[in-house]
Amino acid sequence: MTELSDGVSTRPLPSLDSTGRSALFTDARTANTFADIPVTDAELTEIWELARWAPTAANTQPLRITFVGRGEGRDRLVPHMDEGNRAKTASAPAVAVLAVDTRFHEHVPTLLPFRPELRDAFEANEELRTNTGRFNSALQAGYFILAVRSVGLAAGPMGGFDAKGIDAEFFPDGQWQSILVVNIGHPGETPWLDRLPRLEQSDVVRWA
């Protein structure tokens, strides 16, 4: 407990221990091969149960998730992946197609009950609606990738796919638009490529 200057006490927030930091950030890697160990629907639901709580602008939550199992669904997905991504997408125990709901604002009266009129503001302003949906679904995709890692699974996010092809196949009414495909599973044989370099602090961080 920390005593504030005005006499109010506040409990310090929990933080991640070294295992948690390793699992999500410092030692986590993008898997390129997967072990032949199934990923259950319960595990996939667990990922969503974590990711759903992280924040979005005006609580809009525009991200949608399609979990594509092995078999018929996967056969419909793989041809739309770039050639270099097909083998790993075919072999992954589970695959998530992440999408933005272009009609996310229909939920505003439920999600932001003290500002229901924001629904109509989004309806009237296509640029605001598109930018809000695109930005916040990408933000949520970041949460999703770390949520996959949080449950002890490896994530293989891929931007290399024919988005229009996936959308026509999986979202024919046009309301959802694919933004990222994520392979999910336990790492297989030689799953990691050499780690690529990261930018230096002086390239990324400024102080003002």
44 to 73, contacts with a copy of itself by CB under 8 A? 45, 48, 50-55, 57-59, 61, 63-69, 73
Contact window for a copy of itself (CB under 8 A) among 27-35, 79-87, 119-127:
27-35
Alpha-carbon distances, residue 104 vs 58, 122, 176, 177 (angstroms): 11, 9, 9, 12
First to last CA, the chain: 31
128 lines the binding site for a copy of itself (CB under 8 A): no
Residues 199 and 205: their CA atoms lie apart, in Å, by 10
> What's the closest the beta carbon of residue 120 comes to a copy of itself, in angstroms?
18
Q: Which amino acid is at 164?
A: K
42 lines the binding site for a copy of itself (CB under 8 A): no
Q: Identify residues 141-200 at the interface with a copy of itself (CB under 8 A).
A: 141-143, 145-147, 149-155, 157, 159, 170, 179, 186-189, 196-199
121 lines the binding site for a copy of itself (CB under 8 A): no
Alpha-carbon distances, residue 3 vs 10, 13, 14, 15, 126 (angstroms): 7, 14, 17, 19, 48
203 lines the binding site for a copy of itself (CB under 8 A): yes
> What's the closest the beta carbon of residue 123 comes to a copy of itself, in angstroms?
18
Q: Which is nearer to a copy of itself, 83 or 201 (CB)?
A: 201
130 lines the binding site for a copy of itself (CB under 8 A): no
What the block records as the tokens of 10 is 């506040």
Task: Answer yes or no: are the C-beta atoms of 80 and 161 closer than 8 Å.
Answer: yes
81 lines the binding site for a copy of itself (CB under 8 A): no
What the block records as the tokens of 54 is 């992280």
